[in-house]
Chains A and B, each alone.
Chain A
Amino acid sequence: MSAVLKVENLKVHFPIKTGGFLNSTVVPLKAVDGVSFDVGAGECLGVVGESGCGKSTLGRAILQLIKPTDGRVLWLGENLCDLAPEAMRQKRSDLQLVFQDPLSSLNPRLSVAEIIREPLYAADPSISRGEADQRIDEIMSDVGLLPEMRNRYPHEFSGGQCQRIAIARAMVLKPKLIVCDEPVSALDVSIQAQVINLLRKLQREHGLSLIFISHDLSVVRHLCHRVMVLYLGRMMELADRDALFAKPLHPYTQALLSAVPIPDPALERAKEPLILSGDLPSPLHPPSGCVFRTRCPKASPKCIKEVPAVEVLSGGHQIACHHWQD
């Protein structure tokens, strides 16, 4: 599997003003801090972590909707961070985004056809009305919407249908990579399954790469080939799905997985949960050394002093922890 997207040491820092009017200082909020990974053609990479760990920022930084502070985003070998706005605009037909809240991601004043037509015109203003209409009909039936619904408006649809419209809008340009930012967390469970199966079907049929941002581990397990675990803007562990779920190495991943309920009362009662104490520290004042050390059961003096380097193990398993072998 060749990598289409390579992210190297990506950093997104937001300047935050603190202090009063006279003695204000700017402190960087490190939303994403030195994350590297790659995504192969037709691969689905899951990105998991708790709220506020920089998942969404990472997705937007890859698409250059937020300018990264440092690092490189190589799309087919070309660094997107260096492109001028107009050059980047032309690349956008390859890279698309699906949002968490399906209703707010659709303009309430436009009909479904107008919403889906917009990327077509943006990519190619000379496209004929007939051809655009034909492609809209095709993509609507692809995502399981009746083409007859084309003149209806977003508020006339349910959440799941709105998410299908959003997926149709992302798919209509036949992109090569879609960043899905928690696309199912606003939907109820039966609709979640439909939308996820739809994404999987589209991914297989079109050889699409997906970056699937989620905090729902069972969804990630169902859909993704590889999984990356983020904590406070840093990568903790990155591994193949089966390796990660069978034998998580990082203490944070272990805690995350042990928090997933098992749908069997006997097993659930027998399981000894690994519960983390405390909250996510403020990204304005991250802990020194390893960012996870304040909540880590294995923390040692070494973790306070040194930032753990990312070790690459066999099978491409990557981990950033001093004590994973203990």
Chain B
Amino acid sequence: MALFQSQSDAQLKLMDAAVRMRGRSLWQDALERFRRNTAAMGGVIVLCLIALMSMIGPLISPYTLEDLSWEAIGIAPTMTNSHWFGTDDTGRDLWVLTWMGARVSLTIGVMTTIVAMSIGVIYGATAGYAGGRTGNAMMRFVDVLYALPLLFFIIILVTVFGRNIYLVFLAIGCVEWLTMARIVRGQTLSVKRKDYIEAALASGVRTGTIIRRHVIPNVIGPVIVYVTLLVPTNILVESYLSFLGLGVQEPLTSWGVLISRGANSLETAPWLLLIPATFLAITMFCFNFIGDGLRDALDPKDR
């Protein structure tokens, strides 16, 4: 007892000043590591610039999305008459089109990922935590949905409900959550056997609270990494849906629409393909760098 007492006093004197500061959570540590990663921080900055330009870009230009002009069909990029990125074959300004397309593409990328993440994390964590027969049945259902071809599914949705941007969110989100559910289930299976889950059970904590407080925060690391890789995937999926004419509808545009139309006039007006394609590629790179940075930051042992 005396040993314990003196130890406690010594601790008190030694740590008196230091102890009063707030503790640093694992999240704060990860943020610190992420900040030191140049490529990832560069990705964040460039991505923010693109997002910012998608908001203010169309306002800077004197033209709007609906302005068709017979005098300005197929003009190459020029500084003289404010068609900085040139115009397309109907005389619309490509600067405006590119940034309006960025709005749609980024929104679709982020929204579909949020849909996929919400469904996938909740479903996967429940399946993993329930385990046994219930968990297996839930994952077999996922397997069945996996077998459903994405395009087929979306064509059915479009024929039934008509072309609609919200439908695209839903359709892509509803397909992409499957992989998310598998990742989360696998992680949950390993977290479930940890002592702190058993301690929570022994304290009488309810199942829902255990999943929310103990399982999800501890499986979210790999999920965040996957999310940053899912955003560009979903932007690409939207591009090829638009390429096939199943995506957003005119006059609204997206990078996918622009690239698909630009591809038709590659020989006469290459800028119509190259400019939106460059921005799409830059965005992909940014998300991938951020994903890599997050993986290193969240799991320092895994490098």
Contacts and interface: CB of A to CB of B under 8 A. Distances in A.
Partners in one complex: yes
Interface of A: 60, 63, 65, 89-90, 92-93, 95-97, 99, 101, 104-112, 118-119, 122-123, 144, 146, 148-149, 151-153, 155-156, 166, 169, 173, 190, 193-194, 197-198, 201
A110 B198 CA distance: 15
A194 B7 CA distance: 9
Contacts of A166: 199
Contacts, number: 99
A193 B204 contact: no
B196 A106 contact: yes
B211 to A, nearest CB: 13
Contact of B206 (A65, A122, A149, A194): A122
B203 A119 contact: yes
B31 interface: no
Interface residues of B, number: 33
A197 B23 CA distance: 28
Given A97-B199, A109-B26, A118 B3 contact: no
Nearest to A191: B7
A118 B203 contact: yes
Given A109-B25, A194-B4, A96 B194 contact: no
Interface in B11-58: 11-12, 15, 19-20, 22-27
B9 to A, nearest CB: 10
Nearest to B220: A109
A169 B198 CA distance: 13
A316 to B, nearest CB: 29
Interface string B177-206: 000000000000000001110111111111
Contact of A104 (B4, B8, B23, B196): B196
Given A89-B206, A109-B26, A110-B213, A118 B200 contact: yes
Contacts of A97: 198-199, 202
Given A97-B199, A105-B195, A111 B204 contact: no
Contacts of B8: 144
23 contacts: A93-B203, A93-B204, A97-B198, A97-B199, A97-B202, A99-B199, A105-B195, A107-B217, A108-B26, A109-B27, A111-B25, A119-B205, A122-B203, A122-B206, A122-B209, A148-B20, A149-B19, A152-B23, A153-B25, A156-B23, A194-B3, A197-B3, A201-B1
